Structure 1
Amino acid sequence: MLAVVAAIVFAIALLFDLADVTSDAFDYQTLITLGLLLLALHMAGFGTSTNWRRSFAKTRTRTRRRR
């Protein structure tokens, strides 16, 4: 999900750069930095749909049944 949001942010940054939009708060460099941050979070595993507690509990019950 974060990768999709990062792609949208990069598209908006490209439009800002092509349209030469400038603002005090946001410009295309700020949006590029935000997109890179979102991609880094995605690569680190944030925003994934894996529930580690549930998967650990399932693995633990499987090993008990085998004994």
Structure 2
Amino acid sequence: MLAIAAAVVFGIYLLSDLFNTDFGAHDLINFPTMASLGFLLIALYLAGVGSGPRSGTGTGRRFYGRRPGRG
């Protein structure tokens, strides 16, 4: 989820840069602020914070006996 939020942040900054607008917030929509926010979200995602993909936690389907779809 945090990686998606980082992508949204980078996308908003890219669109504001392409259309040459700052949405009326001169100090908020600039490169250092948006890059810091995006990199913070990516770092949190890679650190395991949030609802990212988990492996080995035992969640998922368990099939007892014959597995469906096996002919």
Same fold (TM over 0.5): yes
Percent identity over the alignment is 43
User: TM (normalized to structure 2)?
Assistant: 0.59
Give runs of ≥4 in structure 1 deviating > 6 Å.
none
Alignment-derived partner of residue 25 in structure 1: 27
Stretches of structure 2 that go unaligned for 5 or more consecutive residues are: 58-71
Write 1 or 2 for the structure with the bigger share of helix. Answer: 1
Aligned length: 51
RMSD of aligned C-alpha atoms? 1.8
Aligned counterparts, 1:35-54, within 5 A: 35-48=38-51
What secondary structure sits across from 1:48 in the alignment? coil
What secondary structure sits across from 1:9 in the alignment? helix
Cα–Cα, structure 1 residues 14 and 28, in superposed 2: closer, same or farther, change >3 Å?
farther
Stretches of structure 1 that go unaligned for 5 or more consecutive residues are: 56-67
- Higher relative CO (CA 8 A, sep ≥ 6), structure 1 or 2? 2
